Structure 1
Amino acid sequence: MTKQVFHTNTLGDKLRQLRDEKNLMQREVGAVIAVDGAFISKVENSEKPINRKHLTTLSKFFKVDEDDLQTLWLADKIRLIIKEEKLGKQAIQIVFNDFNQ
């Protein structure tokens, strides 16, 4: 079986990639943070957000930098807020410019 390579910037895709690299089932990852496999599936498909507190546990479990997971988590939250906004891109550009001044 060929492993999928994900090149998107969502937390769900990153978690799926990490899980696939360890050949784990969704229920096995879910057990690490006391949720079921169906919940992990929804997180991987960006249908459900994961609680921020779980990122610490998952970063230790997968042996990855927690800041990387936190960054994707925050990007997902921002994406969720602005995705339905007609002027979302313009608003993000203003914020980006503010941070770069």
Structure 2
Amino acid sequence: MKNIGQILRELRESKGLLLREVGAELSLDPTLLSKIERNDRMPTKEQAKSLSDFYGDKKNEVIIAWLSDKLVYEVQDEDLGLAAMKVAEQKIEYLKTQKTK
């Protein structure tokens, strides 16, 4: 399974772009982008949104990877983490049905 950093690096490399080119386009420090791609740092919500917009054809893939990495980071060391995520999934489904009423 790929994490957000791996996905972003692959997307950048597949387009033949350098870190500094992506950084200049998004007004992000190339050093920060490098840390994100190496998974030394998690992008903020705003950075993830900017990157997903930049890699438009893979927008959903970037956002899903960012969200899933955030969830894993929060619950990975919890004994009941997986059970809690299953309950959270049920809650999300319930809230979706409430919004449509």
1:3 corresponding residue in structure 2 = none
- What percentage of residue pairs aligned between the two structures are identical? 29
TM superposition score normalised by structure 2: 0.72
Give the alignment of 1:1-101 within 5 angstroms. 8-98=1-91
Which residues of structure 1 form unaligned runs of 5+? 1-7
| Gapped regions of structure 2 (runs ≥ 5) | 95-101
The more displaced of 53-62 and 24-33 is: 53-62
TM-score between both structures, scaled by the size of structure 1: 0.72
Greater RCO (Cα-Cα under 8 Å, separation 6 or more): 2
Query: Which residue identity does 1:39 align to in structure 2?
Result: L
Would the aligned equivalents of 2:52 and 2:63 in 1 still touch at CA under 8 Å?
A: no
Structure with higher helix content: 2
C-alpha RMSD over aligned residues: 2.3
Shifted more, 48-57 versus 71-80: the winner is 48-57
- Partner deviation per Cα, 1:10-41 (whole Å, 9 max, x = no partner): 21111011011012222222222222222112
The structure with more radius of gyration: 2
